[in-house]
Amino acid sequence: MNEALDRLATQLDLAASGNERLRLEFANACTLRVKHLLEEPAVLECLNVLGQYLEGSVGHAQLERAATETIRLANHHQGSKSIDGCGHAAVSATYAVANALSGKAVQAAEYAAYASVYGHGGYGAVADLESFQPEFSWQVGCLASLAARRVSATGVIRPLQSRRNQAT
Instruction: Please determine, for residue 72, whether its predicted confidence score (pLDDT) is greater than 60.
Output: yes
Q: Sign of the C-alpha dihedral, residues 88, 89, 94, 99?
A: positive
pTM of the model: 0.84
Mean pLDDT of 36-49: 95
Mean pLDDT of 28-55: 96
What is the residue-averaged pLDDT of the chain? 85
In this prediction, residue 153 carries a pLDDT of 67
Q: Are 91 and 114 in contact (CB under 8 A)?
A: no
Q: Which of 15-19, 88-92, 107-111 has the lowest mean pLDDT?
A: 88-92
The Cα–Cα gap between 28 and 9 comes to 16
Q: Sign of the C-alpha dihedral, residues 106, 112, 116, 117?
A: positive
Mean pLDDT of 91-100: 95
In this prediction, residue 131 carries a pLDDT of 83
The Cα–Cα gap between 77 and 75 comes to 6
The Cα–Cα gap between 116 and 135 comes to 8
Residue 103 backbone phi and psi in degrees, to 5: 80, 15
pLDDT digits (tens, 9 = 90+) for 105-120: 999 999 999 899 877 7
Q: Which of 5-14, 33-42, 87-96 has the lowest mean pLDDT?
A: 87-96
pLDDT digits (tens, 9 = 90+) for 122-156: 555 555 678 889 999 999 999 999 999 987 766 65
Cα dihedral value 143, 54, 39, 73, nearest 10? 100
